Each structure stands twice: as structure tokens, then as C-alpha cells.
Chain A
Amino acid sequence: MRMRRIFGRMGSACIACALFSAPAHAQVTFERLANSGKEPQNWLTYSGDYAGRRFSLLDQIKTTNVHSLAAKWVYQTGATGKLETTPLVVGGILYATAQDDRAFALDARTGRPIWLYQHALPGDIRPCCGRVNRGLAILGDKVFLGTLDAHVIALDTKTGNLIWDMVAADYQKGYSFTVAPLAVKNLVVIGVSGGEYGVRGFLDAYDAATGERKWRFYTVPGPGEPGHETWEGDSWKIGGAPAWNTGTYDATTNQIFWPTGNPSPSNRGEGRAGDNLYSNTLLALNADSGTMNWYFQFTKHDEHDWDATQVPVIIDAGGKHLIAQANRNGFFYVIDRTTGKLISANAYGKTTWSDSKDAEGRPVAKKEASPTLEGHTVCPGALGTTNFMAPAFNPQSALFYVTARDQCDIFSTAPQPYEAGHAFYGSAYFPSEEAEPYRGFLKAIDPATGEIKWTFEHTSPTWSGVLTTAGGLVFTGDAEGNFIAFDAASGKVLWHFQMGGAVYAAPMAFAVDGKEYVAIAAGSAVYAFGLP
């Protein structure tokens, strides 16, 4: 009965859906994922498209009418902690996740739940930084979830029923998933978390139909593999380099671009002498085989916890095939994605750790930036100039939008033996007493020059990601619970709404019945906004 009622509603929704190109109930094929721009009413991947742009072609909500935007519905997840999810929307159904590996499907017009899935978690999981999850991938009639106990699972899109459940790694050794997977071809690509536990990082690809693992790329090379020599002794075994944020995909070259995190222990380089490949690296992998085409390491031998896991955004400009990344270490990198060669690296926040560049143009760490036992101040701090918050690129304004933070920390090492499943930082860091108070920003960067075109300063730093739309808008949230719309060209605030809970998630846009919505998670709820 319940299902029929839902289908009844969806049936009427679909008359409007047909105005756009894709039917609501058609399976989400790889072709649809690769051509997501043809169905802007749907939001099919974590970043909205394979390029990682978090750009919506919807333009009904625009600079001239956004002032009248209003809350349409609120869905309370009932979960506590940080909501980092980006919902997916397909054919009027919104799929999202909440803390402790809950997944749910909602009527995207009303926020009314259709199904709820709760993964059974053991009591002794090892999440690094909250019991969080950043979202789902969708392919065919399944959504895919990575769990805090290091399972990869597939759920039926219509019921939330469990279809398959694969164990990727031993959670008791510190492995977990928080990332939104990326569906590519017939594969579910997912990177592991655990850089705080001395894991050996990897990126996996599972057969979407069966759950069978098709390939694994270890982000720390084993004996005999190239790059292994960049690790001292046995340090590679606990070398970290997790892959905990969603990468991007270029269908033309069939390459996955996936960024990796810090080497372990995060703030103590002693014992792991060398560059520590492929930590803090952008990997270009063949999607079918997981073999590496090229890599670019942003921070060699990192000692400041500067995971390079920020979304690598695919940009085509001036005949060049580029990848742009606003890195946690404070530099904005533009890379030729055909060759993996660095084109430019410009600071976009307060940095004190580097005052020179190597022959390739890569910022090089000053010797004095290394943490010491007594500790000293380095900028950015351990949280980085940016972090997991998703950036956005708008091809119309040609600007890259990123949440940034100016904060300096005192970095101090703390020798710590490795013990499987126990926190392994080798460090302590403290807010620097001498430095200024933390400052948070939304910055618009011109990728062509690295120049910052406009800056909005928040009252305090935020963990919110950014959405940009063809309506000439940029949306983000703040630490005090506001959802804010900006003019994408000028950075002028055009609208805001107080949601009553801090934002740790990134916004997205969708349309149902020809009506555009913008959605974001804040506090413990998901909010959807639309025009009156």
C-alpha cells in the first residue's frame, strides 16, 4: 500500500520530469552519470558532476529573485554530531546519509521519508573525527554506502533493502569509511579513512552488481613497487595516506583523479624519512584497472597533517585540460591533467611554512617549519587553510569558490609507539597564543591566475562547502547556522536564512515538477529552499 501511494505521487511528478530529458524511474546508468549536465534537475554524484565542480545548471533561482527564497521543508535526521552529507536527487527522490551510517530516501518535494537504513555498527569503531558520513553514490537501482566499520554496502533505491555487504578492511586496526563513493562505469570507487591510526591507505573499486572487489590501489607502495623507497624501513606498513574524500573522473581519458591524505604519524616525520609516496598526492588512475598513469605530490614528507584530500576539480579552459585544487596546505594548485605537471601554485590564505619553490614550481617546506618537541607556530594550522569542505567551480563566472581559514597552530611532536587500532598522531598541536584569532572566509579564485577575485569574511571559520549555480549564485553555510546566497561575480550577500545549527556539509541543487530547490544539511537536519 505504502509503495503504491508513493508511486502514485511520483507518477504525477514525472509529467513535469519529462520536461527535462531523463525519466524519473529509468535506471541511473553510467552514461547518465557521465552526462549529468543533460539532467540538471537531478544531482547524481557527490560533487554534482564527474568534474567535481559542484555547479548546477539550474537557473530558476537567480540573483534577481534569490531574496525571496524560503524554506520549503526540514527533515530531522534524529542523529547527533556533525552532518557532512551531500544528498543525491534522482527523479524527485532525495538520498542522503547521517551520522552512524544511516541512509535515507525522502520525497524531495516534501521531505517526507520513504525509507531509512541503519547500518549495525559495532561499539568499538575507530572514527577519526566524528561518526560522520559524506554521502552516497548511485548506479542502476542501487545506492552505495561506505561505513565506519569499513564495509562497503549496496542498498536498493526503492526500499533501502540491503543488496550486498562487503568488508574492505579490519576496522579494529583503524580502517573506516566516511567518504561518498564514486560510481564509474560498473564500479563503485571508494577510498579509506584512518590516517590517525597508522593504516596503510588504499582506494578500492567494487563491482556495483555483485560487490566483488575488482581492484585495489595501495596508496603506500609495498616492497618492489615504485615509490616504496620513499619510506624508511618498515614505516610503509603504517604509512597512512588514506583517500577519504571523493575524487573526480574524466570520461575522455577514462581516468580517475583521487587525492590522498597525510602520512602516519601525522605530525612526526622521524622514523619515516623520505617523500612518503603517495601521501598528500593526486593520483591519476585507469578506471578499469586501478593502475597509475601519473601522480603529483603536493606536500612531501608532511609533518603538519595537511591531507591533500580536497576535491580535484576538472576544468577545461583556453584549450587546456586542467585540474585545480585548493589544498589544505594553503596553496591553490593548477595541474595539467594530461601530464600531471604542475602549472601554478599560489597561496590563497595565510602560509608561513614555505618560502621557496622547487624546479617544478612546487612550494617547498622550510626546515624551520618542522614540529619540535618544544613546539613552534606554523601557518596554516593543523586544520589547514581548507579541509574536507567541498569547493565549487562556475564555468560561467570562471571562478573557483572555496571555504578558507586563517589559523596558526603551535606544532609539537610527541613520540608515540604504534599500536594497532590506537590513535597514532605522534604530535600535539595547540592554537597559537601569539597569533591572531581564527578567521574564516569564502574566497573566489581565478584559476587562470591564482588571483583572489573576492573575499567574504565570516564571523568565525566555517566547515561548510560551496555550491554555485547558473543563476549567477554561490551558496554556503556558516558555523553559526546561516545559509547564505552570494552574487557569484561580486561576492555580494543576496540572501540568508538562520537554520539553527552549525553547517559541516556542502549544498546542492535539484528540481522537481520544474521547480528548483537548494538543499543543505545543518545541525541534525536537512533543509530544502525554494522560491515562493
Chain B
Amino acid sequence: MSSGIQPTEGGRARAWGLWQRGRLVLSVSAVLLVLAATAVAADNRNPFAGDAKAARAGESEFRINCALCHGLGAHGGGRGPDLTRAQKKHVHSDAELFQVISNGIPGTVMPANGTNGQGVGMTDEEIWQIITYIQSVGVKVTANPIGNASHGKELFYGEANCSVCHMVEGKGGRVGPDLTAAGGSRTREAIIDSVRNPSRRLAWGLTEATKEFPQEYETITVVTADGREIKGVALNEDNFSVQMIDSSEEIYLLEKDTLRSFQRSRESIMLTYSRDHLSDKDLDDIVAFLIGVGAK
């Protein structure tokens, strides 16, 4: 990090915005991000900006290094956000994007360049090529947001019953995944798909490197030695034991060889929300609420 640096507008605006919203707790990642962003030199500009040839080279690098999480075409995958969005949560300029690719995003699964155990990572030139590619596929203007976020929030905590199982910003149930970050890390289409077809992919599995705790919300049904049936969601499992939570948020710690039966299924415990249960419009509103939370 060189001295004599100019804080970027993005970095300042972000810090100010966070304080303005009166958040009492500044997350470690936000602090580090601000530090990283403010450390970017003003002359740290993309040498390839707008260069179509560099964008093509960047596309290949993107496919090799980024697409596993961010999807082919940068449209987002199960783990990484859609990078074609005009509004990105963590970056507001090429220089910040460079920092994020180089250093990762603390507190998230976004790794620093060269830390996946595979060699020395990308060169600066390759990173700039990737940035050129991302900018070339980016949507230039934010489309009018789809859905009414405040109505979505009402539905989420109200009649749509999402919060019975899902938590957002510390409020809600514990059986399903916490959705606070979902709107920021998943595409709109992926969220809609997981509401309409919850079993199609459950929660996305994590990559091998971070597979230490691969909770995928599989449905577990067991019958205990005394004949009691318990159905719930796996918190963790190995060959010999399972840790699960049921719909009343009771945790069970079970050894498989003591059970009368053990069944693991990728049929989600979550209700399938058909259009009869939840209209497209209401679902758009819920997604708008999640995207709004995720963008914070």
C-alpha cells in the first residue's frame, strides 16, 4: 500500500452511508473493505478500459478463475453474486474491483487472488483483463427495481410464513438458511427458483476447499430405538452420527447405530410455493425485500 493516496469516492460514500444509517455494529468486513478501498491510488486505473481484445482475454480468465461461483457470463451462481448488475455490493469502481479480486472479501467466501492453493494466482494484467470483461458485460443502468420491498417485508414476516423458518437480519426462524445475505449473493432468478422448486438444489454445496461444514439442508427422517419418528434438517452429519434440528427448533444429536432407521433425502422440508400459495407479484415483492437487505 503506497502513501499519498486519495480515498476514492466509493470508499468515503460507503463509510458515510453506514454511519448515517446508524448501524451500531460495523462489521469487520466492512471496516476492512473501507480500508482497502481507501488505499487504492487514484491513478490505479484500468489500463485496458474498453479494450475489446482485453475483454476477450479476460473472459477466458474469468471462466477459469471466477465462473465456478459467479457463473458463466458473470450472471451469478449459487455462491457468487451476479456481476452484471449495475449496483454491486462491495465495489463501486474498477480500482475497488481490483482490490477485491486481489485481496478477497473478508467474512465472505470470496478468496484473495492466489490463496486457493493453486500457484501464484493471476497477474495484475490478468486481473485488469477480467475487470475489462466484467465491465463489458455489465448492465450500465440500474433497471427499475422489480417488486415492492416494503410489501415483501410484510409478506416475509407475515402471511407468506417465510420467517417461520428463515432469519433475516437476526429476526426469524432457524430451521432454514439465514437469508440476510441471499439477496446480495444470489441472482433474482436463483431466489425465485428456490421458492418455486425448493428441492431442485437445496442449499448449494460449498467448494471442496471449504467443505469443512457442508450444510445443505438435507431432510433427515429417523426412527429412534424407542420408536419415535423425528423429521428435520441436518445441521451436520458424518458416517456415524447426525446433528439435526426439527421444525420446532429442537436440536437432536444422534448416533446412527442406535437408530431403528435413518433416512436422508434431498426432498426439501420446505413447502413448495406454487402460484396458488404465492402469486408472482408477491414473490417479486419478497425478492425485492431480500435484494434490498442483501445490498446493504
Using a CB–CB cutoff of 8 Å, the interface residues on chain A facing chain B are 81, 124-131, 174, 196-197, 375, 383, 412, 414-417, 421-423, 425, 427-428, 430-431, 433, 437-438, 458-460, 478-482, 484, 493, 496, 498, 502
Q: Name the distance in Å between B101's Cβ and chain A's nearest Cβ.
A: 15
* Chain B residues whose C-beta falls within 8 Å of the C-beta of A430 in the assembled complex: 67-68, 72
Contacts A414-B60, A480-B239 given; does A423 touch B72 at CB 8 Å: no
Select the stretch in B25-33, B115-123, B224-232, B288-296 that faces chain A: B115-123
- Among A127, A431, A493, the residue within 8 A (CB) of B119 is A127
Instruction: Say yes or no: is B211 at the interface (Cβ < 8 Å to chain A).
Output: yes
* Chain A residues whose C-beta falls within 8 Å of the C-beta of B211 in the assembled complex: 460, 479, 502
* Chain B residues whose C-beta falls within 8 Å of the C-beta of A481 in the assembled complex: 238
A433–B201 contact, CB under 8 A? Answer: yes
* Chain A residues whose C-beta falls within 8 Å of the C-beta of B64 in the assembled complex: 414, 416, 423, 425, 427-428
Q: Name the distance in Å between B250's Cβ and chain A's nearest Cβ.
A: 22
Instruction: Say yes or no: is B88 at the interface (Cβ < 8 Å to chain A).
Output: no
- Among B117, B120, B205, B212, the residue within 8 A (CB) of A437 is B205
Kindly list the 5 A-B residue pairs having the minimum CB-CB distance in the complex, ordered from nearest.
Answer: A480-B238, A414-B63, A428-B63, A130-B117, A414-B60
A126–B61 contact, CB under 8 A? Answer: no
Contacts A478-B239, A482-B238 given; does A412 touch B214 at CB 8 Å: no
Instruction: Say yes or no: is B94 at the interface (Cβ < 8 Å to chain A).
Output: no
* Chain B residues whose C-beta falls within 8 Å of the C-beta of A482 in the assembled complex: 238-240
A502 to B72, CA, bound (A): 31
Instruction: Say yes or no: is B246 at the interface (Cβ < 8 Å to chain A).
Output: no
B205–A416 contact, CB under 8 A? Answer: no
Instruction: Say yes or no: is B266 at the interface (Cβ < 8 Å to chain A).
Output: yes
B192-235 CB contacts (< 8 Å) to partner A? 201, 205, 208, 211-212, 214, 216
| Nearest B-chain residue to A502, judged by Cβ | B212
A443 to B149, CA, bound (A): 52
A174 to B205, CA, bound (A): 31
Given A197-B119, A412-B72, A416-B61, 18 new contacts (CB under 8 A) = A131-B117, A196-B118, A375-B72, A414-B60, A415-B60, A417-B57, A421-B120, A422-B120, A422-B123, A437-B205, A437-B266, A459-B237, A459-B239, A460-B211, A478-B238, A480-B239, A482-B239, A496-B240
Q: Show 24 A/B contacts (Cβ-Cβ < 8 Å), sorted by A.
A: A124-B120, A126-B120, A128-B119, A130-B117, A197-B119, A375-B72, A412-B72, A414-B60, A414-B61, A416-B61, A417-B57, A423-B64, A423-B119, A428-B72, A437-B205, A437-B266, A438-B205, A459-B237, A480-B239, A482-B238, A482-B239, A482-B240, A493-B239, A496-B240
A493 to B208, CA, bound (A): 26
A478 to B239, CA, bound (A): 8
* Chain B residues whose C-beta falls within 8 Å of the C-beta of A427 in the assembled complex: 64
* Chain B residues whose C-beta falls within 8 Å of the C-beta of A130 in the assembled complex: 117
Most B CB within 10 A of own CB, among A131, A196, A437:
A437
| Nearest B-chain residue to A440, judged by Cβ | B239
* Chain B residues whose C-beta falls within 8 Å of the C-beta of A174 in the assembled complex: 119
A480 to B165, CA, bound (A): 27
* Chain B residues whose C-beta falls within 8 Å of the C-beta of A433 in the assembled complex: 201
A412 to B68, CA, bound (A): 11
A119 to B68, CA, bound (A): 34
Contacts A422-B123, A430-B68, A502-B212 given; does A81 touch B117 at CB 8 Å: yes
* Chain A residues whose C-beta falls within 8 Å of the C-beta of B216 in the assembled complex: 437
| Nearest B-chain residue to A174, judged by Cβ | B119
* Chain B residues whose C-beta falls within 8 Å of the C-beta of A458 in the assembled complex: 239
Binary interface encoding of chain B residues 108-133 relative to chain A, with 1 for a CB under 8 A from any of its CBs, else 0: 00000000011110010000000000
* Chain A residues whose C-beta falls within 8 Å of the C-beta of B123 in the assembled complex: 422
Most B CB within 10 A of own CB, among A412, A431, A433, A459:
A459
A128 to B118, CA, bound (A): 5
A273 to B120, CA, bound (A): 29
A479 to B68, CA, bound (A): 22
* Chain A residues whose C-beta falls within 8 Å of the C-beta of B118 in the assembled complex: 127-129, 196, 423
